[in-house]
Amino acid sequence: MVMLEQAAHLEPWSRAQLAESLHGRYFSGSLWQQEQLLGYFIADAVIDESTLMNICIAPSWQGRGLGRRLLEHWLDACRQRRLATAWLEVRASNQAALALYRSAGFAKAGRRKDYYRAGEEREDAIVMQKPL
């Protein structure tokens, strides 16, 4: 996970953050080919809502429908838990992720100004939600 995280994300989570996210109120799912980890999601669940904390596909496997499968896996897991709403945040410049979320039925619910680091600059987060 640490290697995939560093390869896929602009601001990768640390090993400690990843380890912590495998316990407690978090739940996760992963995609494998034999022994090779291709991608994963990490979400939390609080009362009747879930927030997607992390989703990534290994760079060499992106663009082949795996991100969509992983996202649907998270949404199915939310429905099984009878949660009412799914939430996520995404960098305003992340066109691939924005297109994926829109096509999966997420709608923009707000904007957090300067939420993410982008090198020396800051970048807004788009907050999106989907009723389940």
Indicate the annotated binding residues for acetyl-CoA.
94
Q: How many CB atoms lie within 10 A of CB 52?
A: 22
CA-CA distance, 9 to 115, in Å (whole number)? Answer: 16
Q: Does 100 bind ligand COA (CB under 6 A)?
A: yes
Residue 18 interacts with ligand COA (CB under 6 A)? Answer: no
Q: Please select the residue that binds ligand COA; options are 55, 75, 78, 128, rule is CB under 6 A.
A: 55
x/- track of binding to ligand COA for residues 58-87 (CB under 6 A): ----xxxxxxx-------------------
Whether 101 is a known active-site residue: answer yes
The active-site residue out of 89, 116, 121, 123 is: 89
Write down the catalytic residue from 72, 101, 115, 116: 101
The two three-digit tokens of residue 59, written as one number: 């760079």
Residues near ligand COA, by CB under 6 A: 8-9, 55-57, 62-68, 90, 94-97, 99-100, 103
Catalytic residues: 89, 101
